[in-house]
Structure 1
Amino acid sequence: MDSSNLTSLSVALLITLSAISGATAAVFTVRNNCPYTVWAAATPVGGGRRLNRGESWTFNVPAGTRGGRVWGRTGCSFDGAGRGRCQTGDCAGALECRLSGQKPLTLAEYTLGSGGARDFYDISVIDGFNLRMEFSGGSDGCNQRTLRCAADIIGQCPSELRIPNGCNDPCTVFRTNEYCCNTGPCGPTRFSRFFKDRCPDAYSYPKDNTATKSCPGGTNYNVVFCP
């Protein structure tokens, strides 16, 4: 086979692989409905982006991505090099996050399937709360209900957990097994019940039995701040 035919085959193979990859990747759309600026963040794919009121950010996540997180940061200031600080959700002072955010933060969590496996997604306030959030599958074939945590958690936060513009998780504050669930049996506490009563869709403590939702692989997803 001559070199021109080899080149043609290589190009065709690359196009085919790209099409397959595109078909199995998930598109995440993050929208800020808050009446103030939010700096969206996502790991291990996405990084970060400033979102003024009403703005959206879209990025692709490859099939098979595990341990994905999307969250919002508030009270941020960055220089031209993308270095700065956020009052809540800060990720080591970077605009483009590579590390998880600093507590407290409301989390949209996901694991994407591959090879026909299903996706799984949830909302968590195990790490505390800093923004109202909605998380949903936005593709045909995913009929799971939308997950929401839209209560006034900050305004009603117990005094022991309250910080400016956020509500801490009790593990961070008290650092005991009762709240951190590091070893042995672990059940709900008055603080986890505070979160659960207001956000029943969300995981409220490490051994919460709230069901994670699932969608067919290849589903696209929407995350909304201040739904």
Structure 2
Amino acid sequence: MNHLKSIPIATLLLVLVSLLSTPSNAITFTVKNNCPYTVWGAAVPGGGRQMNPGATWIVTANPGQTGARIWARTGCTVTGPNGLRCTTGDCGGKLQCTAYGTPPNTLAEYALKQFNNLDFFDISLVDGFNVPMSFLPEGGQCSRGPSCRADLNGPCPGPLRTNGGCNNPCTVFKTDNYCCNSGSCSATDYSRYFKGKCPDAYSYPKDDATSTFTCPSGTNYRVTFCP
């Protein structure tokens, strides 16, 4: 134990705080950039980071977390120590996201340890599309998860086209039949375009039946950009 005398007290305190602030039951999301170009990963909770091709980023969240998202930002320019402006997925001009991204952006969404001790997770195109994505469980407890591997940007319908992505029609037209503000909307030709390309993903706000996946609480996950 004499070797501890050579370690500064401040260092020992930092290690102790780190251990106490990282719950042993935290869920791990392994985020990987398989795209042949750099993206800037974003997560709420989790912050953000630059991800060159092949890069991996570990994001953690605690059981009970709801309203969480992971996404990729593209067309980004560094503007300061925590400044980052992006063409798609921008989160208020910050590198470390504390707010959701600006459409269009493909979203991995999740809520942990909810009804019946289940995690609920999905890929959503309700905010449009910028990069292909998969969102899959890791380990033996669960095997099913959503993937959206198609390129929706190239054949994107003309009115939805935008720099770096494909907008959802609500973003463009802001009408109730696309945004579902009254809770009574149904599929449209535009939402069918998204669903036809990515059957696993949410295509409009009421698209629940084929788009929500569940795994037992405690499952870890892998989010891949350009799987």
TM-score normalized by the length of structure 1: 0.87
Q: Which runs of 5+ in 1 are unaligned?
A: 1-13
Partner of 1:83: 83
1:50-61 aligned at under 5 Å gives the runs: 50-61=50-61
Deviation at 1:78, TM superposition (A): 1.3
Distance 1:202 1:73 in 2: 19
Q: Is 2:33 the partner of 1:26?
A: no
Q: What CA deviation, in whole Å up to 9, does each residue of 1:142-190 have, x standing for no partner?
A: 12x2311111200010000001110001011111111011115211000
Calculate percent identity across the aligned residue pairs: 54
The separation in 2 between residues aligned to 1:216 and 1:184, in whole angstroms, is 29
Which structure 2 residues correspond to residues 125-164 of structure 1 after superposition, within 5 A? 125-143=125-143, 145-164=144-163
How far 1:21 sits from its partner (Å)? 3.4
CA separation of 1:186 and 1:74: change in aligned 2, threshold 3 A = same
- Please give the alpha-carbon distance, in whole angstroms, between the structure 2 residues aligned to 1:20 and 1:208: 36
Does 2:47 correspond to 1:71? no
Q: 1:39 to 1:20 in 2, by over 3 A?
A: closer
Alignment of 1:1-227 (within 5 A): 21-22=23-24, 24-43=25-44, 45-113=45-113, 117-143=117-143, 145-209=144-208, 210-227=210-227
Q: With the length of structure 2 as denominator, give the TM-score of the two structures.
A: 0.87
Deviation at 1:101, TM superposition (A): 0.1
Shift of 1:114: 6.7
Partner AA of 2:137 in structure 1: G
Query: SS where residue 23 of structure 2 aligns?
Result: helix
The answer to whether the 8 A contact 2:123-2:211 is kept is no
- Residues 185 and 41 from structure 1, CA distance in 2 versus in 1: closer, same or farther, beyond 3 angstroms? same
Q: Which amino acid aligns with 1:155?
A: G
Alignment length, in residue pairs?
A: 209
Q: Which residue identity does 2:23 align to in structure 1? A: S
